[in-house]
């Protein structure tokens, strides 16, 4: 007799950090004070100019369906941002607005992959990448991205992983879980590999704007054989608003639109209006938040090193520090659970991000400096007494 649950559903690995979040909330409900360094959910309120735009849009009746591709005004605004920020020429017709970046990933891989097609991706990486590829019948091919290399896949390793079934190379910069920013020269070299071998690149740029070193570079500066995933969740502190977008080569736009029509219809109308305002008017709020993240980063990285955790190369993007915690234990899941239950500090186990993350812990600094200091103090007490 077959299992009641589909094989497709059973094959999806849990996103373990969300289990950590659930347990942290249980402990908090029981009266414990938990320092939350687990999930990448900004602690800032959404900029007031954005919330007021949403309120005005709802009052104006912007609560129905829009075109499945998204509001023309928002797509125009996104295209202008690519031109002003990167000097990249993006046609608004090649932009699909989505309910967050995760649905954009479904549109991307759903329009690109046939069963058995392979996608090269870094190990460690964001857990959704291999899960989306597997769910759609593709094959994730993990290439080591080592701490000493700044968590960048070596070009020779990418070349070695290419087979006749390779369809796409997945990039993420600034990176989750690592906070690593891929240099322009590296992006150019990967783009050259894709051009040479007739492959596509999928570039997750959701953390663009949260950069504390060299300027951001979109993959579209280096090749047009590329898809870009981005959105409003991280930079504008709009995680719960669920607004993202996909930039796709023209031949994939209509297939992505059809998938959107069937699975999601469209992104929320008033949220799209608010997103358009965010691009135009929320720049000062973004810069204020970015500066505070940087202050937290400059505290947390040396503090973790002082605890005996390894950070070979300083993270310069997003709001994560990915630390080698093998001095405390090689099983990152067990270690993360111990820290939560014994020190009341919530972290993300490195193994959640792939075999290459085992032995590491991801620390999110999307929480206040005072709470980060409290978390480090608790970890220090725990480490001395273990």
What is the reported pLDDT for 112?
98
For the stretch 329-374, pLDDT in tens is 999 999 999 999 999 999 999 999 999 999 999 999 999 999 999 9
Residues ≥6 apart with Cβ < 8 Å to 285: 47, 48, 49, 236
160 in any annotated domain: yes
Q: For the residues of 67-134, what is the DSSP string, one character each?
A: -TT--HHHHHHHHHHHHHHH-----GGGEEEESSHHHHHHHHHHHH--TT-EEEEEES--THHHHHHH
Residue 200, classed as helix, strand or coil, is: strand
Residues 215 and 325 in one domain: no
DSSP 357: G
Name the phi and psi angles at 330, rounded to 5.
-85, -15
* Cis peptide preceding 174, ω within 30 of 0: yes
Q: Identify the domain boundary among 264, 281, 298.
A: 281
Residues 272 and 360 in one domain: no
Residues 266 and 218 in one domain: yes
Residues 289 and 324 in one domain: yes
| Element containing residue 204 per DSSP (H, E) | strand 200-204
Q: Which domain holds residue 371?
A: 7-45+284-385
Residues ≥6 apart with Cβ < 8 Å to 113: 119, 133, 136, 137, 138, 167, 168
Number of independent structural domains in the chain: 2
Residues 320 and 251 in one domain: no
1 in any annotated domain: no
How would residue 295 be classed by pLDDT, with cut points 50, 70 and 90? very high
Residue 285, classed as helix, strand or coil, is: helix
Task: Specify the CATH number for the domain of residue 359.
Answer: 3.90.1150.10
218 in any annotated domain: yes
Residues 68 and 170 in one domain: yes
pLDDT at residue 386 tops 90: no
186 in any annotated domain: yes
Residues 277 and 328 in one domain: no
In angstroms, the CA 38 to CA 316 distance is 19
| Element containing residue 46 per DSSP (H, E) | none
Residues 108 and 203 in one domain: yes
Q: Identify the domain boundary among 233, 261, 281.
A: 281
By percentage, how much of the chain surpasses pLDDT 90? 93
Q: Identify the domain boundary among 281, 297, 318.
A: 281
In angstroms, the CA 272 to CA 100 distance is 11
Name the phi and psi angles at 63, rounded to 5.
-125, 10
330 in any annotated domain: yes
Residues 131 and 155 in one domain: yes
For the stretch 134-190, pLDDT in tens is 999 999 999 999 999 999 999 999 999 999 999 999 999 999 999 999 999 999 999
Residues 199 and 299 in one domain: no
| Element containing residue 6 per DSSP (H, E) | none
2 in any annotated domain: no
- Residues 93, 96, 97, 100: is their CA dihedral positive or negative? negative
Residues 97 and 212 in one domain: yes
Residues 22 and 88 in one domain: no
Task: Specify the CATH number for the domain of residue 73.
Answer: 3.40.640.10
């Amino acid at each position: 007799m077959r299992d009641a649950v589909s094989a497709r559903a059973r094959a999806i690995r849990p996103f373990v950090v969300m289990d950590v979040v659930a347990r942290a909330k249980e402990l908090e409900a029981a009266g414990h004070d938990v320092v939350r360094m687990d999930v990448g959910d900004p602690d800032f309120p959404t900029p007031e100019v954005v919330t007021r735009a949403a309120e005005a849009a709802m009052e104006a009746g912007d609560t129905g369906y829009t075109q499945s591709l998204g509001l023309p005004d928002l797509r125009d605004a996104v295209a202008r941002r690519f031109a002003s920020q990167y000097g990249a020429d993006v046609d608004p017709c090649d932009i699909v607005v989505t309910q967050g970046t995760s649905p954009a990933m479904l549109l991307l891989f759903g329009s690109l992959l046939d069963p058995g097609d392979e996608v090269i991706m870094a190990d460690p990486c964001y857990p959704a990448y291999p899960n989306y590829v597997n769910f759609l019948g593709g094959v994730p091919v993990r290439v080591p991205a080592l701490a000493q290399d700044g968590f960048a896949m070596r070009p020779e390793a990418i070349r070695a992983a290419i087979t006749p079934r390779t369809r796409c190379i997945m990039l993420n910069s600034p990176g989750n879980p690592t906070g690593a920013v891929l240099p322009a020269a590296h992006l150019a070299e990967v783009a050259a590999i894709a051009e040479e071998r007739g492959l596509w690149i999928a570039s997750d740029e959701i953390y663009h704007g949260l950069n504390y070193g060299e300027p951001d570079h979109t993959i579209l500066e280096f090749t047009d054989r590329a898809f870009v995933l981005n959105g409003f969740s991280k930079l504008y502190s709009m995680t719960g608003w669920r607004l993202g977008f996909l930039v796709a080569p023209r031949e994939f736009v209509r297939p992505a639109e059809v998938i959107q029509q069937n699975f999601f219809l469209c992104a929320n109308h008033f949220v799209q209006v608010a997103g358009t305002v965010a691009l135009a008017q929320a720049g000062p709020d973004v810069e204020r938040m970015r500066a505070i993240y940087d202050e937290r980063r400059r505290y947390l990285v040396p503090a973790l090193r002082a605890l005996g955790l390894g950070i070979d190369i300083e993270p310069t993007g997003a709001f994560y520090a990915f630390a080698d915690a093998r001095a405390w234990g090689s099983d990152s899941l067990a270690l993360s659970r111990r820290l939560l239950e014994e020190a009341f500090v919530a972290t993300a186990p490195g193994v959640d991000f792939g075999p290459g993350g085992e032995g590491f812990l991801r620390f999110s600094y999307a929480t206040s400096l005072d709470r980060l200091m409290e978390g480090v103090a608790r970890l220090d007490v725990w480490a001395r007494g273990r």
